[in-house]
């Protein structure tokens, strides 16, 4: 009896970057995002001064905090790469930087919307906004450097150095409102004096936002790291195949070329 | 044993090489743009972001806060000082016991109101700040609109100016 084995094709089509762990993480992310929508848009009150515009804070603040976290992960993974020389650390650094850069972009966009509603302007070259823009541009540069070409090891080495240097911008961004006079307000939750001047339900909604975006970050980073591993494998396979092809050609008799 | 020939093929396949060339130049282009953007941002930082404003009590006292030049002035909008005069909005701002009248051509945006800190851009003429931009500085306080502390907080905001 003839059998048609379709299993490998179906298997390969279904092969992806998901695992049981990421699926659970993805489900938790969706649940926490629903919570964030419920608290951010529903249960939490309007602000005395900002009115409904305060709800932008539940995206604006978590995204920049998680971006800081992402860039710290990039720096730590870069350091580990330089010590261990394992490309896994490099891919982790790259994936984390990509997610962090997207989150900074999101921070800048929603911050501009909040600024228009509260300050009356979308953008102003004050200390916080300017240093945040510099942080964004620096990590766009980091991501561009990762794509300059060369071997995986060359990519990992040069980006690790930049990843370790770029993270030094984070304290500058965070403390810019204290170091210089800024249009942007000072920190409320991370106030060095420890005095959190925020309504309880607003603070809880912000906490839900931090949880939701942290889960989202980890989920994105895990998938992206695995996609990067696949890309590296494909590049390696392409190189191996090219070399094998050239070897086959070199081994061919001259008559076959005519 | 036949020696391996690993030199590139003679006539390159344009279709195959085009995406590779694109991938090579794109990061360099992005890096060039990053350098330009970085230069612009650092320039803006040095010229504008450091000490974004002067306080009202620093006019003519602090470096860069001369009344003869264009200035960004920070102070709290005084209670019962906002008036509409034609298209203009007239009010006074105070900081640390010093007060200056402001004339702004139009209606300030954002959450402009009494007892809130603002930064006004403009020039001082005859002791009045002729503003062409008003930005509201929000404090680090987040108070529920229904909170019973509203009255107290507003009072503190105005009295601290």
Residues A190 and A3: beta-carbon distance below 8 Å: no
Mean pLDDT of A8-17: 56
Residue A220: pLDDT over 60: yes
C-beta of residue A57 within 8 angstroms of C-beta of residue A45: no
Instruction: Find the closest chain B residue to A119 by CA distance.
Output: B136
Query: A199 and B31 in contact by Cβ < 8 A?
Result: no
A115 to chain B: closest CA residue:
B110
Highest mean pLDDT among A66-70, A148-152, B14-18: A66-70
Tell me: pLDDT of A46 over 60.
yes
Q: 182-201 in A: which are within 8 Å (CB) of B? A: 182-183, 185-188, 191, 197-199, 201
If pLDDT is split at 50, 70 and 90, which confidence band does A3 have? very low
The interface predicted TM-score of the complex, written ipTM, equals 0.76
pLDDT band at A14 (very low <50, low <70, confident <90, very high): low
Using the Cβ of A254 and the Cβ atoms of chain B, whether some distance falls under 8 Å is answered with no
B26 touches chain A (CB under 8 A): yes
Question: How is chain B split into domains, by residue range?
Answer: 14-50, 54-159
* pLDDT confidence of residue B161: 42
Tokens coding A169: 């911008």
A83-99 burial: b if 16+ Cβ within 10 Å, else e: eeeebebbbbbbbbbbb
How far B74 CA sits from the closest chain A CA (Å)? 10
pLDDT confidence band for B8 (50 / 70 / 90): low
Residue B145 CA to chain centroid, in angstroms? 26
CA atoms of A132 and A137, how far apart (whole Å): 9
CATH of A24-228 given 1.10.357, 1.20.1630, 1.10.3470, 1.20.120 = 1.20.120
Q: What is the pLDDT confidence band of residue A8, given thresholds at 50, 70 and 90? A: very low
Query: Given a cut of 50, is residue B108 above it in pLDDT?
Result: yes
For the domain bounded by B54-159, which CATH number is listed? 2.40.50.140
Flag if A118 and B143 touch (Cβ within 8 Å). no
Parse chain A into domains and list their residue ranges: 24-228
- Give the residue-averaged pLDDT of B56-72: 87
Least confident of A52-61, A244-253, B34-43: A244-253
Q: Looking only at Cα atoms, what is the longest distance across chain A?
A: 87
Chains A–B, number of C-beta pairs less than 8 Å apart: 163
């Amino acid at each position: 009896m003839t059998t048609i084995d379709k299993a490998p094709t179906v298997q390969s089509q279904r092969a992806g970057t998901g695992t049981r762990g990421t699926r659970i993480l993805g489900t938790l992310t969706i649940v926490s995002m629903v919570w964030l929508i419920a608290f951010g848009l529903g249960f939490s009150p309007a602000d005395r001064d900002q009115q409904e515009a305060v709800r932008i804070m539940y995206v604006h603040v978590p995204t920049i905090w998680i971006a800081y976290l992402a860039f710290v992960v990039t720096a730590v993974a870069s350091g580990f790469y330089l010590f261990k020389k394992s490309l896994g650390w490099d891919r982790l650094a790259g994936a984390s930087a990509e997610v962090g850069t997207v989150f900074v972009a999101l921070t800048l966009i929603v911050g501009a919307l909040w600024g228009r509603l509260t300050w009356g302007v979308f953008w102003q070259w004050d200390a916080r906004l300017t240093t945040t823009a510099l942080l964004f541009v620096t990590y766009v540069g980091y991501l561009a450097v990762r794509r300059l070409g060369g071997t995986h090891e060359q990519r990992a080495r040069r980006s690790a150095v930049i990843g370790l240097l770029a993270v030094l911008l984070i304290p500058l961004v965070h403390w810019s409102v204290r170091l210089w006079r800024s249009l942007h307000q000072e920190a409320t939750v991370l106030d060095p004096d420890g005095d959190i001047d925020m309504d309880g339900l607003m603070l809880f909604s912000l906490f839900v936002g931090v949880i939701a975006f942290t889960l989202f970050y980890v989920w994105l980073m895990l998938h992206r790291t695995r996609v990067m591993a696949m890309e590296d494998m494909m590049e390696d396979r392409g190189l191996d195949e090219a070399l094998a092809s050239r070897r086959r050609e070199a081994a061919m008799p001259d008559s076959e070329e005519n | 044993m036949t020696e391996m020939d690993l030199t590139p093929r003679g006539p390159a396949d344009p279709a195959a090489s085009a995406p590779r060339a694109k991938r090579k130049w794109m990061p360099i282009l992005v890096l060039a743009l990053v350098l330009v953007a970085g230069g612009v941002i650092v320039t803006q930082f040095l010229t504008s972001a450091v000490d974004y404003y002067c306080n009202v009590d620093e006019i003519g006292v602090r470096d860069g806060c001369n009344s003869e030049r264009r200035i960004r002035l920070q102070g709290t909008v005084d209670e019962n000082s906002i008036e509409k005069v034609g298209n203009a909005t007239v009010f006074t701002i105070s900081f640390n016991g010093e007060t200056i009248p402001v004339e702004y051509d139009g209606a300030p945006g954002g959450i402009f109101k009494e007892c809130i800190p603002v930064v006004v851009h403009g020039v001082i003429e005859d002791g009045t700040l002729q503003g062409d931009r008003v930005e509201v500085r929000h404090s680090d306080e987040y108070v529920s609109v229904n909170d019973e502390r509203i009255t107290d907080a507003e009072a503190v905001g105005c009295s601290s100016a």
